[in-house]
């Protein structure tokens, strides 16, 4: 993700944009299963005109880079007034084949701003890699454990008694819905996080 850009992640797609709103990157999974079918669908669905296209490799995976343009329709004006066309929209698309799916990256901006944002688009799109870090692949979920406080004191004291990590105290305070300084009595149930 380009530095300083904001991220919006939903089940359907990931969107990234700079604060000035002059560009947008979208990542999603195409419905089609091949690069050729996904590229044809992209052009049709978004009403894009293809300016260039080439086969590339991204992270050792087959991919297609497409530069396209979407021309906005002219607006109808009252008689005697000139029609003014909207700015042309440039879309840089990267379609990457991985695990029987096509990942679709779209970088969208105006034709005038394309040179400003194209390297940021490429920096994200060309960084796609198959996940191979065993620490991330084999990650085990944490579970909430309910423990009974064994003696009167603060929530912080109770958490320490159960060997809660010091760097997670604030998180555990939120999870328990009380400040670390809150008094808890013997027999109170509290939540801890663990594997």
> How many CA atoms within 13 Å lie on the side-chain side of 41?
13
The CATH code of the domain that includes 97 is 3.40.1000.10
Which residues is 32 bridged to in the sheet?
A: none
Looking at the fold, whether 97 and 179 belong to one and the same domain comes out as no
Residues 65 and 116 grouped into a single domain = yes
Q: What is the dihedral of CA 133, 134, 137, 141, to 10 degrees?
A: -120
Based on the fold, state whether residues 187 and 93 are members of the same structural domain: no
Within a domain: residue 78? no
Domain boundary among 135, 157, 174: 135
Question: Which whole-number Å values give the CA distances from 1 to 5, 8, 12, 138, in the listed order?
Answer: 7, 11, 18, 24
Question: Does 1 reside within a domain?
Answer: no
Average pLDDT over residues 34-48: 93
Written in H, E and C, the secondary structure of 98-143 is ECCEEEEEEEEEECCCHHHHHHHHHHHHCCCCCCCCHHHHCCCCCE
Give pLDDT tens digits for 55-100: 999 999 999 999 999 866 655 555 555 556 678 899 999 999 998 9
**Residue 52 belongs to some domain of the structure:** yes
Same-domain check for residues 10 and 66? yes
Residues 44 and 112 in one domain: yes
The total of structural domains in the chain comes to 2
Residues 119 and 153 placed together within one structural domain of the fold: no
Asked if 51 and 121 sit in the same domain, the reply is yes
User: What domain range is 154 assigned to?
Assistant: 143-194
Q: Are residues 30 and 108 in the same domain?
A: yes
Spacing of C-alpha 121 from chain mean position: 14
Task: Let me know if residue 160 belongs to a domain.
Answer: yes
The span from the CA of 102 to the CA of 112, in Å, is 29
First-last CA distance in the chain = 30
Q: Which residues, including other chains, have CB under 8 Å from residue 172's CB and lie 6 or more apart?
A: 155, 159, 164, 191, 192, 193
50 and 98 housed in the same domain: yes
114 and 174 in a single domain? The answer is no
In a domain, 80, yes or no: no
Each residue's pLDDT tens digit, 95-153: 999 989 999 999 999 999 999 999 999 999 999 888 888 887 888 888 999 999 999 99
- On whether residue 57 sits in a domain, the answer given is yes
Note the pLDDT of residue 141: 85
Q: Are residues 112 and 16 in the same domain?
A: yes
pTM higher than 0.75 for the full model? no
Q: Is 79 inside a domain boundary? A: no
Give the integer Cα–Cα distance in Å for 28 and 104: 5
Q: Is residue 51 part of a domain?
A: yes
Residue in 108, 126, 127, 122 with CA at minimum distance from that of residue 26: 108
Is the domain of 162 the same as that of 190? yes
Tell me the sheet residues that pair with 98.
101
Region of poorest pLDDT, from 8-12, 121-125, 170-174 = 8-12
């Amino acid at each position: 993700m380009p530095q300083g850009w904001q991220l919006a992640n939903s089940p359907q797609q990931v969107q990234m944009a700079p604060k000035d709103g002059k560009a947008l990157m979208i990542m999603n999974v195409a419905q089609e299963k091949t690069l050729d079918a996904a590229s044809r669908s992209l052009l049709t669905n978004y009403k894009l005109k293809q300016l260039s296209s080439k086969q590339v490799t991204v992270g050792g995976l087959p991919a297609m880079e497409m530069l396209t343009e979407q021309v906005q329709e002219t607006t109808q004006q009252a008689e005697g007034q000139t029609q003014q066309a909207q700015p042309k929209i440039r879309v840089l698309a990267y379609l990457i084949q991985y695990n029987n799916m096509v990942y679709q990256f779209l970088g969208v901006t105006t034709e005038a701003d394309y040179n400003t944002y194209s390297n940021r688009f490429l920096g994200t799109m060309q960084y796609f890699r198959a996940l191979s870090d065993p620490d991330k692949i084999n990650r085990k979920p944490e579970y909430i454990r309910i423990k009974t406080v064994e003696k009167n004191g603060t929530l912080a004291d109770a958490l320490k008694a159960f060997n809660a990590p010091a760097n997670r105290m604030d998180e555990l305070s939120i999870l328990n819905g009380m400040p670390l300084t809150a008094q808890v009595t013997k027999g109170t149930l509290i939540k801890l996080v663990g594997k």
